Amino acid sequence: MIHSESLARIRFPLVVVVVLVLQNTLAASVSIAGAHPDLLSDLVVGTCLGRGSRRGAVIGFAIGCVADLFAATPFGLWALVDLIVGYGLGSVSKDRLDNSRWFLPLAGGAGAGFAVVLFALAAAGVGVKGVLGVHLAVVVAVVGATSVVLVPLMMGLARWSLPPEPQGYAGAWGR
List pLDDT tens digits, range 77-121.
999 999 999 999 888 876 665 556 788 889 999 999 999 999 999
Q: Are the C-beta atoms of residues 37 and 26 closer than 8 Å to each other?
A: no
Confidence class for position 172, pLDDT limits 50, 70, 90: very low
Is residue 124 packed enough to be buried (19+ CB in 10 Å), middle (13-18) or exposed (0-12)? middle
Neighbours of 98 (CB within 10 A): 7
Q: Does 170 score more than 80 pLDDT?
A: no
Mean of pLDDT over the chain = 88
Q: Does 3 score more than 70 pLDDT?
A: no
Q: Across residues 135-155, what is the average pLDDT?
A: 95
d(CA 118, CA 153): 23
Q: Does 5 score more than 80 pLDDT?
A: no
Comparison of pLDDT for 63 and 168, the residue scoring more: 63
Domain residues of the chain, as ranges? 4-160
Q: What Cα–Cα distance (Å) separates residue 151 from each residue in 73, 103, 170?
A: 25, 11, 27
Q: Give the pLDDT of residue 174.
A: 42
Q: Out of 73-82, 106-115, 128-137, 162-171, pick the least confident.
A: 162-171
List pLDDT tens digits, range 26-51.
999 999 999 999 999 999 999 998 88
Instruction: Please determine, looking at this structure, whether the domain spanning 4-160 carries the CATH number 1.20.120.
Output: no
